[in-house]
């Protein structure tokens, strides 16, 4: 496994991170709590990922209604302190964790409360990496950054980042941190893939200018870049398109399906899995420090592990992107 420095920090992260959003649920949606991977399946994935050299696991307080963090904590306890010393834990805060008006968001109260809840479930004294899961327009950014700074000063959190954030809001957050001497967002975790190139327009130039790292979530576009979807009429039972299709409904068109066929042919010609080639494309962008993968089983994980080893030239990247040129031009 290859490792890369996260942005301007001294932290070294593996090029692939294990996304744990399907442990005990499907993301943060309450209607899917109890679904996704079982605890036994989650432990099998964590064993395989750690053995392969993946050194950071990415979760969130709301994933599976807390099951994701709880299962990671139990797994860590069973492995002992040597594994904890090697593993970087990344969690998030924002999404609802209860029915009350203060059980969500990025207020000082919620952030300080939820970090302790996460630490308890994970059975650890610190979070190596902590992200706002998405911006909270109802809470001043100054308030959130001050709370995060306190967590860093208390030693409960080591590095702070932002997920699902726009370039303008990131720039404002960096300015607030610089002028007030607060801990700053050291990296961004946003969607990036052959089917979602939006970060290329504003976010990547800002990250390059400010020394901010980038980790890509959904590098396989919710399974679309694995070869799982061949037409709009044949979504596999239990797939994301049968459970939570809304974020990807716009991809169900002939142009995308033609691009997927071309990508599949390219992967076959190279003797690699389609998912591995799509991951390689993401990882070969100079702004991407790592990609977060969410395999449903060890076979999916093994296929993804081949991605960092695939060599691509800039011409190769351009050609692969051209398979989805109509979509890319509208989203990048």
Q: State yes or no: pLDDT of 329 exceeds 70.
A: no
| pLDDT at residue 308, rounded to an integer | 97
Please, what are the domains in the chain?
3-331 (3.20.20.100)
Mean pLDDT of the chain: 95
How much is the pLDDT for 331? 45
**Sorting pLDDT into bands at 50, 70 and 90, what band is 240?**
confident
pLDDT-based confidence at residue 231 (cuts at 50, 70, 90): confident
Neighbouring-strand partners of residue 163: 189
Q: 56 vs 238, which has greater pLDDT? A: 56
Residue of 3, 63, 159, 248 with catalytic role: 63
pLDDT tens sequence across 289-315: 999 999 999 999 999 999 999 999 999
pLDDT on residue 332? 40
pLDDT average, residue stretch 79-104? 97
| pLDDT exceeds cutoff 80 at 1 | yes
63 is catalytic: yes
Mean pLDDT for 95-106 is 96
| The pLDDT of residue 181 | 98
Q: Residue 235: what pLDDT?
A: 77
Is residue 330 scored above 70 in pLDDT? no
In the chain, % of residues over pLDDT 70 = 98
Please tell me the least confidently modeled range out of 84-88, 145-149, 158-162, 235-239: 235-239
How confident is the model over 36-47, as a mean pLDDT? 97
pLDDT band, very low/low/confident/very high, at 273 (cuts 50, 70, 90): very high
pLDDT at 229: 86
Arithmetic mean of pLDDT, 240-245:
73
Report the pLDDT value the prediction gives residue 61, as an integer from 0 to 100: 98
């Amino acid at each position: 496994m290859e490792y890369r420095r996260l942005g301007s920090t001294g932290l070294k992260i593996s090029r692939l991170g294990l996304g744990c959003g399907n442990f005990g649920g499907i993301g943060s949606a309450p209607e899917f709590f109890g679904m996704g991977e079982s605890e036994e399946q989650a432990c099998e994935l964590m064993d395989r990922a750690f053995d392969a050299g993946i050194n950071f696991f990415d979760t969130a307080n709301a994933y599976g209604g807390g099951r994701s963090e709880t299962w990671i904590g139990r797994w860590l306890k069973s492995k002992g302190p040597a594994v904890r010393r090697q593993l970087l834990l990344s969690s998030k805060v924002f999404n609802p964790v209860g029915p009350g008006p203060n059980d969500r968001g990025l207020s000082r109260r919620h952030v300080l409360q939820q970090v302790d809840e996460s630490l308890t479930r994970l059975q650890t004294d610190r979070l190596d990496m902590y992200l706002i899961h998405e911006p909270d327009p109802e809470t001043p950014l100054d308030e959130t950054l001050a709370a995060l700074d306190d967590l860093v000063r208390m030693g409960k959190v080591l590095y702070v980042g932002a997920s699902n954030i726009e370039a303008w809001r990131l720039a404002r957050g960096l300015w607030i941190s610089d002028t007030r001497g607060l801990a700053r967002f050291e990296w961004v975790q946003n969607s990036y893939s052959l089917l979602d190139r939006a970060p290329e327009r504003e976010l990547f130039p800002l990250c390059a200018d400010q020394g901010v790292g980038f980790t890509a979530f959904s590098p396989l576009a919710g399974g679309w870049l694995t070869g799982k979807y061949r037409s709009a009429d044949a979504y596999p039972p239990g797939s994301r398109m049968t459970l939570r299709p809304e974020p990807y409904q716009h991809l169900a068109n002939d142009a995308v399906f033609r691009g997927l066929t071309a990508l599949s042919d390219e992967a076959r010609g190279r003797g690699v899995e389609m998912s591995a080639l799509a991951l390689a494309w993401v990882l070969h962008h100079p702004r991407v420090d790592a990609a977060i993968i969410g395999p449903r089983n060890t076979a999916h994980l093994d296929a993804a592990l081949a991605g960092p080893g695939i060599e691509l030239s800039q011409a190769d990247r351009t050609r692969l992107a051209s398979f989805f040129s109509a979509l890319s031009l509208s989203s990048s």
